[in-house]
Amino acid sequence: MIVLFSHQKGGVGKSTIAINFAYQIQKKYDDINILDLDSQHSAVLFNQLRTSEKLPIIQCVTQNEVNLTEFLSKYRANKNNLLVIDSGGYDSDINRTALIKADIIITPVGISQIEIFGLQKFRKILKDASEALGKKIKTNVLLNNVDSRSKSKLKDLQDYIIEKHNYFNLLESTLYSRADYKNSYGEGLTVKELNKKGQAQKEIEKFTKEIYTLLNN
C-alpha cells in the first residue's frame, strides 16, 4: 500500500507526521519503506540522526535511488507492504505521479486563511490529476498544529473542507500544537520514544489507527 503525505504548500508538517506515522505502524507490515521527495530531505536527515544515536531505522530512499515506476508498483495495493511518501511542498510531475499512484493521500492543514488558500490551490491540482487519471482523486485532510483556543477558526476550516467534499475527506483525528513534535525530531526520536504517555503520542496513535482502518477497507 502507498500512503502519500501531499500538499503543494510547504511547512504544513508533512515530514514530521509521515515519520511518526511510519514508525508507529511499521509492525503491521512485512516490508515498509519511506520515499523522501521533499527537497529538504527531512526523513533522510531523521534517519541520519537515528543512525548516529545507534537507533533502529526504517529504510528511507530518495527518487534518485530508485526506478520510480517499479518502486511504486512494488507497494501499490499490496496489503503486506507499505510505502510512506513524504512529497515536496510544491507542484511537480513526480509529485503528481505520486498522487495518481497512492492508495491513500493525506494532507495536513493548519487553521488560518493562508491554509485555506493553500487548500484551494491543492484542490485544483487534485482536479487536474483526476482528469488525467479518469477517476476522482480525493485527499484525507488532517487538521494539524491546531491551537485549541482557536475554536471559531477551526470550525470555519472544518466547514470549508466538508463543503468541498468532492475532493476532500475530513479525518476524525486532529493533531494539536505540541512541543513534543519539534523536540523529538531534533533528537532523532518519535513522539512515542520521547514521551509515550504524552498527548502528542496519543494523537499520533489515534491518527495511525484511523489510517490503518482506511487502508484495510
**Structural domains present in the chain:** 2-210 (3.40.50.300)
| Amino acid present at 23 | Y
Q: Under a CB-based contact definition with an 8 Å cutoff, are residues 115 and 109 in contact?
A: yes
Asked if residue 89 has pLDDT above 80, the reply is no
Higher pLDDT: 45 or 157? It is: 45
Which triple of cell numbers denotes residue 59? 529504510
Using pLDDT thresholds of 50, 70 and 90, give the confidence band for residue 147: confident
- Counting every residue written for the chain, the total comes to 217
**Residue 148 — very low, low, confident or very high, per pLDDT cuts 50/70/90?**
confident
Give the span between the Cα atoms of 129 and 179, in whole angstroms: 36
Collapse the DSSP code of 81 into the 3-class scheme (helix H, G, I; strand E, B; otherwise coil) and give the result. Answer: strand
pLDDT of residue 66: 92
pTM, whole model, 2 decimals? 0.93
Reported as a pLDDT band with limits 50, 70 and 90, residue 171 is: very high
Supply the Cα-derived Rg of the chain in whole angstroms.
Answer: 16
Q: Return the pLDDT at 129.
A: 86
**Across residues 22-30, what is the average pLDDT?**
96
